[in-house]
Amino acid sequence: MHFIWKKWVKPAFIIIYVVGLCVGLPFIILNLRNEPTQSMIFAWFVGGFFVLGAIPISLWTILEHLINYTKPYLQRNIIRILWMVPIYATNAWFALRFPHTAIYFDTLRECYEAYAIYNFLAFLLNYLRREYPELNQHLEQKQQVKHIPPLCCCRPWPMGSQFIEHCRHGVLQYTVIRPITTIIALICEVCGVYGETNFSYKYAYVYLTVINNISQVWALYCLVLFYQCMKAELKPMNPVSKFVCVKFVVFMSFWQSVLISILAASGIIEKVEAWKLYDVRSIGIALQNFAICIEMFIAAVAHHFAFSVAPYRDTSIPRSSCCTSWWSMLDVSDVKRDVVQHVRHSDRLASIGRV
């Protein structure tokens, strides 16, 4: 009986989406008619057009995986990664619509960003551990992997379990630091000392940007080093396209925001007559969110092919029930376990350093 839901879930999704468009579009149009800034109306409509294209593509891909949920140990992480596009796109459009509350929408987006990075590494490790049950021993037999520039002069990490742990904790630190800095940014905004796009030492933005930058670059470095080590073993699952997709969404959006902030601070982005109701800071934030709306459509298409459901359409493997599929996607006990392990690992390293 639990297979019945797989037959009606797609038609139900199409009906709900069409009804949502029919109800939502007139409301949005009436709401925007009261907006005095024509250029902002144009940005909302164009951004919304791409968002309305990105969300159904991503949700359709997610539904495909839930229907063909034959390898939960991999698809759970894939589905979590695929949720990036709907979350990013929706947040960016609402932040574009309500620029003075953008910081609050960005909070959710940035927290999910760290969560997606964790799930990508977990996806790679789950694949390798299933293909190579003795993964640590397999790594010990491989040729020593050296650090890549600019850390090529540093001592290489020992191959085996230590190498995996160094890479894993290198990514997990971003999963912990990013939500913390995001919450701090939210508190600073409420207190009036955040100063987004302002690089003055009097505001918290510049300090949090540096911390996020260092943490993010280190997480990316660990991912690249891990891929360099396991390139041959990961080849059957086409990791390059997946890696590029994740890097495009997460890391490009961050550096894009930094670049726009620099342009605003340097005076290149100026207040113009068409945006007369908005200051330079709000214009910079709006440009960032407008760009994300467009980029998420590209990302949705790329994710559909990079994280294709085709390898999981196997009729010989028993499929999960509706509740099992959805609960597996929502269950974050694995994240909690790994974050706790990372905090204990960091505390242990700090204790060793104090000795």
pLDDT interval class at 55 (50, 70, 90): very high
The reported pLDDT for the residue numbered 37 is: 57
The reported pLDDT for the residue numbered 60 is: 92
Q: Pick the residue with more confidence: 162 or 318?
A: 162
Answer whether residue 71 is part of any domain.
Answer: yes
- Percentage of the residues of the chain whose pLDDT score is greater than 70: 80
Using the predicted structure, report yes or no on whether residue 280 has a pLDDT greater than 80: no
* Mean pLDDT of the region 254-275: 68
The reported pLDDT for the residue numbered 1 is: 47
The model's pTM is 0.84
Answer whether residue 19 is part of any domain.
Answer: no
Q: 190: domain CATH number?
A: 1.20.1070
Answer whether residue 62 is part of any domain.
Answer: yes
Answer whether residue 26 is part of any domain.
Answer: no
The reported pLDDT for the residue numbered 287 is: 82
The total domain count for the chain is 1
Contacts of 257 (CB under 8 A, 6+ apart): 288
Answer whether residue 220 is part of any domain.
Answer: yes
Answer whether residue 279 is part of any domain.
Answer: yes
pLDDT interval class at 6 (50, 70, 90): low
Q: Per-residue pLDDT tens for 282-292?
A: 677 788 888 89
Using the predicted structure, report yes or no on whether residue 48 has a pLDDT greater than 50: yes
Answer whether residue 87 is part of any domain.
Answer: yes
The reported pLDDT for the residue numbered 307 is: 93
Question: In which domain, by residue range, is 140 found?
Answer: 35-354
Answer whether residue 18 is part of any domain.
Answer: no
**Among 34-43, 280-289, 334-343, the least confident range:** 34-43
